[in-house]
Amino acid sequence: NDVEAASDDIYLKFRPRDANGNLFSNEVTALAFDRDGYLWLGTNQGVLVSYNPHRVLQGETSFQKIKIPDVVEGLAVYLLETEEVTCIDVDGGNRKWFGTAKSGVYLFSADGTKQIHHFNTKNSPLPSNTILSIKAHPVTGEVFIATDKGLIAYRSNASEPANTFDKVYAFPNPVRPNYSGVITIAGLMDNSVVKITDIAGNIVYETRSNGGLATWDGKNRNGQRVATGVYLIFCSDSKGEQAAVTKLLFVK
């Protein structure tokens, strides 16, 4: 009732349990709430998730492991079960970033069942596989990763979604002949439908946004770099109630 007084606070100390009351590891090393209100825990034996954390003070909150499908037929493989998870962050696309004690950084889909990236010292500029902290910038989509040997940033393709299409834009714009990176469409609403067409209206690419960002590699559906010209970017929200159009100049 009074946020400045401790006398009326309610708290509960507990160990993570499954729906049947079975205990999980009590070495909780990280936690984060996602955009759906689910609670994700990092432990010394992988990741746990609770889909009803709001019931914790009633003693009704349970946790479960995330089963990864199609990894080993006939065997249950669980999300990062052999890793000590040191930190967790949720980006604008509701995807989960996991830092580990010895294996670098993992990015998983919103439900935790699909691995999108695994960055370590062998395949990326990470200075160390010992991750201390991760934080995704809500606007730019940059992910800042702190290791025991320094800090590094990664430009992700997700950001916090906008409430409207007031500020939709693409960058770089124009796209010059020597540019080989991705083209980013920013200012989008959550899970927006993005269609890119040439000036004649032919669709060359279609995707959905991760939160407020969508990316395009500058190639058509046949995997070929598109021709020089002006391209139109049509955006609509997931319900088809709002829409926006922006332009992009592409120089091959």
In a domain, 20, yes or no: no
Q: Give me the mean pLDDT over the 74-88 stretch.
A: 90
Separation between Cα atoms, residue 218 and residue 221, nearest integer Å: 10
Q: Give me the mean pLDDT over the 30-40 stretch.
A: 96
Q: Are residues 93 and 208 in the same domain?
A: no
Backbone angles phi, psi at 53, to 5 degrees: -65, -20
Q: Are residues 47 and 146 in the same domain?
A: yes
The residue from 155, 180, 201 where one domain ends is 155
So what's the pLDDT on residue 72?
65
Q: Are residues 149 and 186 in the same domain?
A: no
Would you place residue 77 in the very low, low, confident or very high pLDDT band (cuts 50, 70, 90)?
Answer: confident
Q: Are residues 52 and 100 in the same domain?
A: yes
In a domain, 120, yes or no: yes
So what's the pLDDT on residue 118?
97
Q: Are residues 52 and 83 in the same domain?
A: yes
Q: Are residues 132 and 192 in the same domain?
A: no
Q: Give me the mean pLDDT over the 161-186 stretch.
A: 93
Q: Give me the mean pLDDT over the 128-152 stretch.
A: 96
pLDDT of 60 higher than 90: no
Instruction: Give the rounded percent of residues in the chain with a pLDDT score beyond 90.
Output: 84
Of residues 130, 159, 126, the one with CA closest to residue 142: 159
Q: Are residues 80 and 173 in the same domain?
A: no
pLDDT of 121 higher than 80: yes
Structural domain count, the chain:
2
CATH label of the domain that carries residue 241 = 2.60.40.1220
So what's the pLDDT on residue 11?
87
Q: Are residues 34 and 135 in the same domain?
A: yes
Would you place residue 74 in the very low, low, confident or very high pLDDT band (cuts 50, 70, 90)?
Answer: low
In a domain, 11, yes or no: no
Range of the domain at 192: 169-250
So what's the pLDDT on residue 252?
87
So what's the pLDDT on residue 57?
87
In a domain, 109, yes or no: yes
At 122, list the tokens.
């062998």
The residue from 97, 128, 155 where one domain ends is 155
CATH label of the domain that carries residue 32 = 2.130.10.10
pLDDT of 154 higher than 80: yes
Instruction: Please tell me the pTM assigned to this model.
Output: 0.87
By CB atoms closer than 10 A (0-12, 13-18, 19+), residue 10 is: exposed
In a domain, 57, yes or no: yes
